[in-house]
Amino acid sequence: MEYMDEKILESRKELERQQHTTLETGIYVDDELITFSRATLPDSYIQIFLPNQFIVMPDKVKAMKYPSKEAPDLIVTSLDGSVNLCFNILPVTLAAGDTKEMGTQFQTALKNVNPSIKIEEQTETVTDGGNEISWFEFVGYTLDGQSYNRMYIVRMRNTVLHGIFNCPLKAKNQWGDIVEKCFASIEEGIR
C-alpha cells in the first residue's frame, strides 16, 4: 500500500512540474519552483525576465568572484552565488548581422586569454521582441571547479547588450533552457 502512495505523490509532483514550464508560470529546478519577473536593467530601457529568487551580487562578493577591472556592470546571482546572470550595456551600435562578428571577436579574446577553452558553435537567432541575438557556450574553470558559460550579444536600437551566464557544469542541463528563455524575453522600451 505504501508503494501506491509513493506513486500517487510522484504523479502529483510531475503534474505540478508540467504546469510550470514558462517564465510566466515559473520553472522547477530540482524541487524548487523558480519564479520570474520582468526587470529593467539599470540606466537603460532594456527589460528581461529574471529569477525572483536572485539578488544583485554584493560588491564585496563581486570583487572576489570577478576580480578583473573588466567585471560585468551588473551581476544577478542565486543566493549561494553559483548561478549568475551578468550584464554590460555597450555604447555601440551594430548593423544587422554584426552580432555574429562581435561574438567571434569575443571568442578570439577568450581563446587568447585561455587557449584551453573549447567554444561550442555560435547560435544566431532573434529575441521574442525581434532583436538580433548571437550566443556561444564554453566550459570554464573556477576555484569551485568547472563552470558552464554562455556569452550573449544582443543588438538593441542604440546599444548592444553583452550578457554572460554561468553556473556549475553539473547544473547546465537544469539552467540551459531557462537562460535561453530569459534572453529571448529581452525587450527595449522606447526612450
Asked if residue 171 belongs to a domain, the reply is: yes
Distance, C-alpha 141 to centroid of its chain: 18
pLDDT (0 to 100) of residue 66 = 83
For the record, the C-alpha cell of 140 comes out as 570554464
The rounded average pLDDT for each run of 10 residues, N- to C-terminus, in the chain (191 residues) is 68 71 91 94 94 95 84 94 95 93 94 89 93 95 84 94 96 95 92 59
Asked if residue 19 belongs to a domain, the reply is: no
Asked if residue 85 belongs to a domain, the reply is: yes
pLDDT (0 to 100) of residue 106 = 94
Note if the pTM is more than 0.85: yes
pLDDT (0 to 100) of residue 75 = 96
Structural domain boundaries enclosing 95: 54-188
pLDDT (0 to 100) of residue 8 = 66
pLDDT (0 to 100) of residue 30 = 87
Output the domain CATH number for residue 165: 3.40.1000.10
φ/ψ of residue 87, rounded to 5: -140, 140
pLDDT (0 to 100) of residue 131 = 95
pLDDT (0 to 100) of residue 42 = 93
pLDDT (0 to 100) of residue 17 = 66
pLDDT (0 to 100) of residue 85 = 98
pLDDT (0 to 100) of residue 12 = 72
Asked if residue 106 belongs to a domain, the reply is: yes
Print burial letters for 133-170: b (CB count within 10 Å at least 16), e (below 16). Answer: bbbbbbeeeeeeeebbbbbbbbbbeebbbbbbbbbbbe
Number of domains in the chain: 1
Rounded to whole angstroms, the Cα distance separating 53 from 136 reads 26
pLDDT (0 to 100) of residue 102 = 95
pLDDT (0 to 100) of residue 114 = 86
Asked if residue 30 belongs to a domain, the reply is: no
